[in-house]
Amino acid sequence: MLKKPCGTFDETYAQDMSVIRTPYRGGLLILLFLFLFVITPLIADNYALGVMNLIGISVIAMMGLNILTGYCGQISIGHVAFIAVGAYTSSILSQHLGWPFWATFPSAILVSGLMGMVIGLPTLRIKGFYIAISTLAFHYIIVWAILHGGDLTKGVWGLPCEFPELFGISFNTEKKMYYLIMILAVIGTVLAFNLVRSKFGRGFVAVRDNDIAAEFMGLNIFRLKSIAFIICAMYAGAAGSLYAHYLGMITVEQFPLIDSIWYLGFLIVGGLGSISGAIFGVVFYRLIAQIVLFAAPMISEALPFLSVSGVAGFTQMLFGLVIILFLVLEPRGAIHRWQLTLTSFRLWPFPY
Amino acid sequence: MEKKGKITSVVTVLVLWFAILLCLGQTGYAGEPVIAIGHLPHFTGAYGATQAPFAPAQEDAIEWANSVNYVKGAKLKLVWVDGGTDPSKSLAGFKKMAAGNPAPVVIIGESTGIGTALVKMHAKAKIPDVEGGMSLAMIKPPSWTFVQPPPYVNQFGAWVDYYLKYIWKGPGKPKFAWLTWDNPFGRSPMTKEADLYLKSKGIEIVAREFIPNVPSNTIAQAMRLKRSGANFTFGGMYPSALSVVLKDMEKIGMTGTVSIGMSYATNLDELVKYVGPLANGVHIASIVTLVEQWPEKSPMVQKMYDKKKRTTNKWGYGNCWSKFAIAIEAVRIAAEKVGPDKVDGQAVYNALISMKNFDAWGTSPPVSFSKTGRVAMNSVEIQAVENGKVVSKGYADAPDLLPGGKDVPK
């Protein structure tokens, strides 16, 4: 979150731990709340709400990856597999057992968490690049399991999933779904924010920065890494469950490996190890995707001598270009740049 | 300073020119109502290479339809977004098109996975989907999805029947092996119903060989296939992957010893380019008219291809035309029924379910839909490579081997 401005002193531990530490931050949160829950549903059409819904689901998924990779330093390229586990758990329970959303959603989180625990086990012996490869293997295991799941997963054919229903309200429109997704995204963000300020969060950072030193200090790094994996998977499971209920239909092709890479890429763009950075990364990713969607047909219509598929391919390169530029120019992510900008405003007109 | 000023002027002119072009691009057709037809292809991502020919085809099909005033009293407008072989992007793209002005009255989809993901979205938005992919969820009414190709398992059935009737000379029953891509597309014909169908014909399955998406060495699969004594195979693979298999089969002396059948997406022209004579004897259950027959069966496709000096792959180009033919014909029927200015998704849906034996402008076998029938074709064109040339062996019925289908043996 935003750094405390110079001159703001805490006199008690409660003040130090509080979320809203300055009136500015309180105002900002109120504005954000108004924007999310009042202004957007009023002015946005179905298309914009659809984009916001995807952003909300991705924010939940990204929170998990940020805890695992950003805070705990464990690279996962199997994040989409955890999302798939959540999506399929929800769909299987909804379709085969007729469970309602209030039961499928927590079940999806639980099952994904269990998967996360299993995948976290190798962290006892391996780390770094090797753990990344084990998560890659996990992705393929999940895809294989879905394809060979017979009637349970319906193999290549895909599985339908009912729209969520809570307290007699069916979330079968973009707007209703928007409220559900945003409320869950806010809850997920608050939980993640509090988690990283807890002893677990500090433990994660210690493991990330130097796991040997962390172990010398008495931290059980295997336990911490396992917990990070479990939490990451639980967030992904929640996102997957929402995704399945939102779309109403899932197939194995909806969970490509490349999406795990994009999640990692845009976590870097937003800022690793920062809650706001993770959100920024998702928003940036989804908005660029929209620009690409609009740009390719418009450019090819305006400049008909250009090849349509060439234009589409060129605009897709924007994703890669953004990541490269951030890695070169601002490896600490956009959130760091934002903090620098804020600081310079606070100190203006002084240079330091 | 002067140089800087010049650069600024040039940039300003370029920006203005670009803006004017963009505005022109948004201009509608004066006088006549404009009916938008949506297309959700995947010009990037995993399907990018295969679907690249759809880019010129989408423009040419609409241009041709407008040039002959196919939908009387209205002009057709193409709207498209690149799905990028990515469900999230495709979902956003679908919503962008659906919220557009004019919103499309029908959208052509190009992927099994993404088409399946959008089944409920199409129904909710009341915009029919003429779909190039195929899955069970798509074809279950009240779906608004109308699939172009027969299910892969039905294509398999057509190949089995054709093989038994025209190729197998006996004695006894032939042995069958699956030789297919190890991905959803490749595995999709491998169903319980397919096994039952073979069993009902007294055919034994002696091998199941899977080829990776990007194979580099398939000797092991070829040797197992050889040892199994299989007489014929079926599967789904793009020509690039199958060419590796054929080359490896040649290395172990298998060429010509087994009849290879593939589903429609194995572009035989490309296969011949890759492996030359090794492609001889490969058959596909095609849904696209043979390119050589365009002048006779689909003159408009040939005309536009030549007129625009297209150099793209003809098979993919023709395949895209086939889906546009279905969509545009549905719009024509709808316009006739409700008037060109009142065509909406519902009218096109009604037109689609009333479509019977439409020739798809000669680009594919005949197309029919009904209230409960969402598969366009119940026949395929068997095509084969003979002496380095792709030839048509005629249409073959595709048995209904979907779960609960009428041709599934009890």
CATH code for the domain of A272: 1.10.3470
Q: Which residue in A248, A256, A290 is closest to B92 by CB distance?
A: A290
Q: Domain range spanning residue B177?
A: 152-286+380-397
The answer on B185 and B102 residing in a single domain is no
Q: Which residue in A54, A251, A296 is closest to B92 by CB distance?
A: A54
What is the total count of domains within chain B?
2
Place of tokens 């779309």: A247
For the record, the structure tokens of A340 come out as 């620098």
> Confidence band (pLDDT; 50, 70, 90) for B12?
low
Give the percent of chain B with pLDDT over 90.
Answer: 64
The answer on B230 and B110 residing in a single domain is no
The answer on B370 and B318 residing in a single domain is yes
CB pairs under 8 A between A and B: 144
Question: Would you say residue B48 lies in a domain?
Answer: yes
Question: Would you say residue B171 lies in a domain?
Answer: yes
How far apart CA A2 and CA A21 sit, in angstroms, is 10
The answer on B276 and B356 residing in a single domain is no
Half-sphere exposure of A120 (CA within 13 A, CB side): 24
> Confidence band (pLDDT; 50, 70, 90) for B299?
very high
Q: Distance, in angstroms, between B394 CA and closest chain A CA? A: 30
The pLDDT tens digits of the residues spanning B354-363 come to 999 999 999 9
Q: Which of B6-10, B45-49, B65-69 has the lowest mean pLDDT?
A: B6-10
CB contact under 8 Å between A253 and B112, yes or no, is yes
Residue B59 confidence (pLDDT) above 60: yes
> Tell me, what's the pLDDT at B14?
63
Question: Would you say residue B90 lies in a domain?
Answer: yes
CB contact under 8 Å between A303 and B87, yes or no, is no
> Tell me, what's the pLDDT at B26?
46
Q: Distance, in angstroms, between A301 CA and closest chain B CA? A: 6
Q: What average pLDDT does range B385-405 have in this prediction?
A: 91
Q: What average pLDDT does range B299-321 have in this prediction?
A: 92
Q: Distance, in angstroms, between A54 CA and closest chain B CA? A: 7
Question: Would you say residue B406 lies in a domain?
Answer: no
The pLDDT tens digits of the residues spanning B31-41 come to 789 999 999 99
The answer on B278 and B180 residing in a single domain is yes
Sign of CA dihedral B180, B218, B231, B195: negative
CB contact under 8 Å between B136 and A157, yes or no, is yes
Q: Which residue has the higher pLDDT, B314 or A306?
A: B314
The answer on B173 and B266 residing in a single domain is yes
CB contact under 8 Å between A297 and B81, yes or no, is yes
The answer on B254 and B156 residing in a single domain is yes
The answer on B189 and B158 residing in a single domain is yes
Q: Which residue in B52, B84, B88 is closest to A316 by CB distance?
A: B84
CATH of the domain at B165: 3.40.50.2300
Q: Using 50 as the pLDDT threshold, list the residues of chain A that sit under it.
A: 1-2
CB contact under 8 Å between A253 and B93, yes or no, is no
The pLDDT tens digits of the residues spanning B256-297 come to 899 999 998 898 988 999 999 999 999 999 988 888 889 999
The answer on B300 and B267 residing in a single domain is no
> Confidence band (pLDDT; 50, 70, 90) for B7?
low
Question: Would you say residue B11 lies in a domain?
Answer: no
Question: Would you say residue A14 lies in a domain?
Answer: no
Q: Distance, in angstroms, between B314 CA and closest chain A CA? A: 16
CB contact under 8 Å between B85 and A294, yes or no, is no
CB contact under 8 Å between A249 and B120, yes or no, is yes
The answer on B270 and B186 residing in a single domain is yes
For the record, the structure tokens of B364 come out as 């594919």
Contacts of A170 in chain B (CB under 8 A): none
The answer on B282 and B161 residing in a single domain is yes
Q: What average pLDDT does range B372-377 have in this prediction?
A: 89
> Tell me, what's the pLDDT at A337?
86
The pLDDT tens digits of the residues spanning B62-103 come to 999 999 999 999 999 999 998 887 888 888 889 889 988 899
How far apart CA B110 and CA A312 sit, in angstroms, is 16
Identify which of B270, B276, B278, B229 has the alpha carbon closest to the alpha carbon of residue B251.
B278
Q: How far are the Cα atoms of A74, A242, A336, B313 from residue A206, in angstroms, in the given order?
A: 12, 32, 20, 56
Global pTM?
0.81
Residue B9 confidence (pLDDT) above 70: no
> Tell me, what's the pLDDT at B28?
45
Q: Domain range spanning residue A117?
A: 22-347
How far apart CA A86 and CA A113 sit, in angstroms, is 9
Q: 3-state DSSP call for residue B367? A: strand
Q: Distance, in angstroms, between A173 CA and closest chain B CA? A: 9
Contacts of B81 in chain A (CB under 8 A): 293, 296-297
What is the total count of domains within chain A?
1
Judged on CB neighbours under 10 Å (0-12, 13-18, 19+), B165 is exposed
Q: Which residue in A250, A294, A313 is closest to B44 by CB distance?
A: A313
Q: Tell me how far the alpha carbon of residue A124 is from its chain's centroid.
A: 26
Closest residue of A to B113, CA-based? A253
Query: How would you classify residue A98: left for phi > 0, otherwise alpha for psi between -120 and 50, otherwise beta?
Result: left
CB contact under 8 Å between B95 and A298, yes or no, is no
Question: Would you say residue A10 lies in a domain?
Answer: no
The answer on B246 and B215 residing in a single domain is yes
Place of tokens 């190729």: B167
Question: Would you say residue A231 lies in a domain?
Answer: yes
Work out the mean pLDDT of chain B and round it to a whole number.
89
For residue A318, the tally of other CB atoms under 10 A from its CB is: 14
Contacts of A47 in chain B (CB under 8 A): 92, 95-96, 98-99
Question: Would you say residue B6 lies in a domain?
Answer: no
CB contact under 8 Å between B88 and A54, yes or no, is yes
> Tell me, what's the pLDDT at B17?
61
Closest residue of B to A159, CA-based? B137
Q: Distance, in angstroms, between B138 CA and closest chain A CA? A: 9
Q: Distance, in angstroms, between B116 CA and closest chain A CA? A: 7
Question: Would you say residue A95 lies in a domain?
Answer: yes
Q: 3-state DSSP call for residue B129? A: strand
Contacts of B136 in chain A (CB under 8 A): 154, 157-158
> Tell me, what's the pLDDT at B324?
97
Half-sphere exposure of A204 (CA within 13 A, CB side): 29
CB contact under 8 Å between B81 and A250, yes or no, is no
Question: Would you say residue A290 lies in a domain?
Answer: yes
Helices marked H in B252-310? 268-275, 294-297, 299-307
